[in-house]
């Protein structure tokens, strides 16, 4: 193994760096008992959100700014919720050297005393590159807190987040939050269009090695290589987890008193399963924690999407929800059997994430073994899949003339459906696991040049087998689908 020196964390980091450096560190850590990271901070840094937000890195000291390279790195200070010390390393020509911390790298807000400890270290980092204009360095990705990170494509504002790994999300009992303990950032060449970041993940149950190949653009693409080394068998692991916020929309705003038509970072879960079926599951803000599992084998893709992209869809000048990115996960290789899993948690505001989606393998990840999951992330407006199928652009639910029923209206656009003559008679394929479907019809929408599928749903009364009902809808031409499959969980 390469010559190594001890870092301030529990791992060792070689001065020579190869593609196997971080996996070897993760393997070695997994064979040892877990040791929690350093969270000791001076009292002056135990701040609230506003003070921490104003504790800013001096951009004139950004890594690679003086070298005029196409990427620059700025660090986050420790404080507020981000107390763990995270090791940062710069990699150049096969050698890794630590990125030194100094209080002089930061502008401290009034009332926050700069620490004297020159070894205090960082909480994370963010990367800047010319994303929207050729002469302006914009933030494109940030790694901060546990194993959380989030990225932007051109014209985006920050919204949903990704994580390295989820353990117990939405399950009974406490959730375990693996964290990135160290990062190695490869110095880019002049004119480079991509940046490589390596990360060492750790938690009481698992260690892991990640490699991120980041290509910013109109759609920022990140190729992720993950290698997990469980300390214990993991029966409830979440691979490629996504975290977002959904408060309300036209399909779920009962009891909402808000001037805006919708408030969310994502409006639906999209799935392209191993059987080639294209699924859209609108998100909801449930009255209780809700779990949905979409069993599959060899998934082709899934993601939390923000399909509504017009300002008028939200009418929020400050939050600008119409500019929040979608995040599409494209697995590489065969992920085997498992389920795309969705967890929806009740929320009363727009400030807390309440939606989690991830892939859960059917077989446990066994301790003492290496488990690889590679995938491509698309931080985008939308994603490409079966171009022949119309997609759901809106789901609206409201009162029907019969008070015992609810009216469901689904707008569709694109695919072969868009090319049908206006007098065509596509077939609605609508059913419910329980209850009655009444008056299902498909008809053209002259205002959008798309099509609309509507029906009335009457929940079954007096049921003793639960309060939730699964609804299914799509549009057919004969037996051939013209639209993706709309799935909805009705909760009473």
Per-residue pLDDT at 268? 98
Residues β-bridged to residue 246? 264
Q: Long-range pairs for 308-313 at CB < 8 Å and ≥24 separation?
A: 308/249, 308/262, 308/267, 308/393, 308/394, 309/381, 312/261, 313/261, 313/262
pTM: 0.94
Predicted confidence at residue 295, as pLDDT, reads 97
Q: What pLDDT is stored for residue 26 in this prediction?
A: 98
d(CA 244, CA 160): 5
Q: What is the pLDDT of residue 38?
A: 84
Interatomic CA distance for residues 337 and 385, integer angstroms: 21
Q: What is the pLDDT of residue 1?
A: 32
| CA distance linking residue 364 with residue 380, whole number of Å | 32
pLDDT (tens digit, 0 to 9) for every residue of the chain, 492 residues total? 333 334 434 344 558 999 999 999 999 999 999 999 888 898 888 888 888 999 999 999 999 999 999 999 999 999 999 999 999 999 999 999 999 999 999 999 988 889 988 889 999 999 999 999 999 999 999 999 999 999 999 999 999 999 999 999 988 888 999 999 999 999 999 999 999 999 999 999 999 999 999 999 999 999 999 999 999 999 999 999 999 999 999 988 888 999 999 999 999 999 999 999 999 999 999 999 999 999 999 999 999 999 999 999 999 999 999 999 999 999 999 999 999 999 999 999 999 999 999 999 999 999 999 999 999 999 999 988 999 999 999 999 999 999 999 999 999 999 999 999 999 999 999 999 889 999 999 999 999 999 999 999 998 765 445 578 999 999 999 999 999 999 999 886
Q: What is d(CA 302, CA 43) in angstroms, rounded to the nearest whole number?
A: 43
Q: What's the CA gap between 78 and 37, in Å, rounded?
A: 13
- Contact assessment for residue 64 and residue 188, using Cβ atoms and an 8 Å cutoff: yes
What pairs with residue 384 in β-bridges? none
């Amino acid at each position: 193994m390469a010559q190594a020196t001890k870092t301030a964390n529990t791992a060792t980091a070689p001065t020579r760096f190869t593609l196997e450096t971080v996996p070897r560190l993760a393997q070695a850590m997994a064979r040892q008992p877990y040791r929690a990271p350093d969270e000791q901070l001076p009292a002056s840094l135990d701040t609230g959100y506003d003070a921490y937000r104003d504790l800013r890195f001096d951009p004139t000291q950004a890594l690679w700014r003086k070298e005029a390279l196409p990427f620059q790195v700025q660090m986050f200070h420790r404080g507020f919720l981000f107390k763990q010390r995270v090791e940062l390393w710069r990699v150049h020509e096969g050698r890794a050297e630590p990125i030194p911390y100094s209080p002089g790298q930061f502008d401290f807000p009034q009332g926050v005393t700069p620490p004297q400890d020159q070894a205090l270290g960082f909480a994370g980092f963010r990367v800047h590159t010319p994303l929207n204009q050729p002469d302006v360095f914009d933030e494109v990705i940030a790694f901060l807190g546990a194993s959380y990170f989030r990225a932007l494509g051109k014209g985006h504002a920050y919204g949903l987040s990704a994580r390295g790994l989820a353990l117990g999300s939405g399950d009974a009992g406490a959730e375990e939050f693996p964290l990135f303990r160290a990062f190695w950032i490869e110095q880019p060449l002049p004119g480079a269009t991509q940046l490589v970041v390596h990360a060492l993940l750790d938690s009481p149950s698992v260690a892991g090695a990640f490699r991120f190949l980041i290509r910013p653009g109109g759609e920022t693409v990140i190729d992720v290589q993950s290698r997990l080394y469980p300390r214990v068998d993991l029966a409830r692991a979440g691979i490629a987890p996504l975290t977002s916020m959904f408060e309300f929309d036209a399909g779920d705003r009962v009891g909402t008193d808000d001037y805006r038509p919708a408030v969310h970072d994502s409006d639906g879960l999209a799935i392209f399963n191993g059987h080639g079926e294209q699924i859209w599951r609108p998100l909801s803000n449930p009255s209780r924690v809700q779990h949905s599992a979409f069993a599959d084998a060899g998934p082709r893709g899934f993601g939390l999407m923000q399909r509504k992209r017009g300002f008028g869809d939200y009418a929020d000048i400050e939050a600008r929800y119409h500019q929040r990115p979608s995040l599409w996960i494209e697995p590489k290789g065969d992920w085997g059997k498992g389920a795309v899993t969705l967890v929806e948690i009740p929320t009363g505001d727009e400030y807390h994430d309440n939606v989690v989606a991830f892939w859960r393998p059917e077989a446990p990840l066994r301790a003492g073994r290496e488990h690889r999951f590679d995938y491509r992330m698309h931080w985008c407006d939308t994603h490409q899949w079966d171009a022949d199928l119309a997609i759901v652009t809106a789901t609206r639910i409201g009162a029907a003339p019969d008070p015992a029923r609810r009216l469901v209206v689904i707008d569709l656009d694109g695919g072969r459906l868009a090319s049908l003559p206006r007098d065509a008679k596509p077939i609605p394929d609508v059913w419910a696991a329980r209850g009655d479907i009444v008056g299902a019809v498909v008809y053209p929408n002259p205002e959008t040049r798309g099509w609309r599928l509507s029906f009335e749903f009457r929940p079954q009364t007096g049921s003793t087998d639960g309060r939730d009902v699964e609804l299914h809808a799509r549009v057919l031409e004969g037996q051939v689908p013209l639209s993706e499959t709309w799935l909805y969980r009705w909760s009473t």
